[in-house]
Amino acid sequence: MKNFNKTSALKSTARDRLIGHYGTTISAIILYRFISFVVVNFIVGSIIPSSLISYLVFFSATILVNLFLGVFDSGLAYLFMNIIYGQSVSVGDLFHGFKNHPDKAIKLQVPIAVMDTLTMIPIQVLSVVLARNAKITGSIEPQVTCAVIAVIGILAIINLYVRLTFSQSYYILQDFPDKSATSILKTSSKLMKGNKRRLILLYLSFIPLGLIGMLACFVPFFWVTAYVAASDAAFYQDLVAVSAQNTNS
């Protein structure tokens, strides 16, 4: 039975494959962040929730924007998979999802979009309650503060679990475009069974580089982001290879 590669090996693969492609990957990431910023701020940011209807519009817009950005996530997955597999890449790969199964890309984003929104709703409600409580009493009761922290913590854990479960979906879409969105989500869930901890450890290993980026006025962050994305794709490659070999053996 073949074992999975260690975090250091995955990161080494990512570094090797990124050589000569940092300009392309960083440019694609900057473009993606710019598009996300514009879409979020002009659509969601223009809605100021103050009543029940405005809150419904706000949360609906949040879901729709999240789904739309899922098409770009598909493009990024395609770009970084090509990096890991040694294929040619371009900044235009960011828009790959619009030309190849955009409907599936949107459907694959549904669990994340719904979970993000469900996480936001209690936080929005609690923020309103806290504001009113502070206005009436002049202070916030410790019990209320503890409740806020507890709810946010629980929702954050659930959100993380959902994201880890379906983290391989866009990679699977690139490898198996004929699969249905439901089948892809199930495949991702199956692949990640017992591997969530490995992916968390991979992400945590980038904390030192993130701290260095902060000390360097955030300039290296796009380089770190490309490094993380390539390592994520290397994780998928290793995950599929080992799972396939162990299944056939």
Residue 201's pLDDT is what? 95
Return the closest-CA partner of residue 191 out of 157, 159, 168, 162: 168
CB-count exposure of residue 10 (10 Å: 0-12, 13-18, 19+): buried
- Is residue 72 in a domain? yes
- Is residue 39 in a domain? yes
Return the closest-CA partner of residue 189 out of 162, 155, 229: 162
- Is residue 193 in a domain? yes
The pTM of the full predicted model, rounded to 2 decimals, is 0.89
pLDDT in 10s for each residue of the chain, 249 residues: 678 889 999 999 999 999 999 999 999 999 999 999 999 888 887 787 777 788 888 888 989 999 999 999 999 999 999 999 999 999 999 999 999 999 999 999 999 999 988 888 777 777 766 666 666 565 556 676 677 778 778 888 999 999 999 999 999 999 999 999 999 999 999 999 999 999 999 999 999 888 887 776 666 788 899 999 999 999 999 999 988 777 766
Q: How many domains does the chain have?
A: 1
Structural domain span for residue 95: 7-128+162-248
CB atoms closer than 10 angstroms to residue 237? 18
- Is residue 206 in a domain? yes
- Is residue 155 in a domain? no
Q: How far apart are CA 66 and CA 68, in angstroms?
A: 5
- Is residue 136 in a domain? no
- Is residue 215 in a domain? yes
- Is residue 134 in a domain? no
Name the region of 94 (left: φ>0; alpha: ψ -120 to 50; beta: rest): alpha
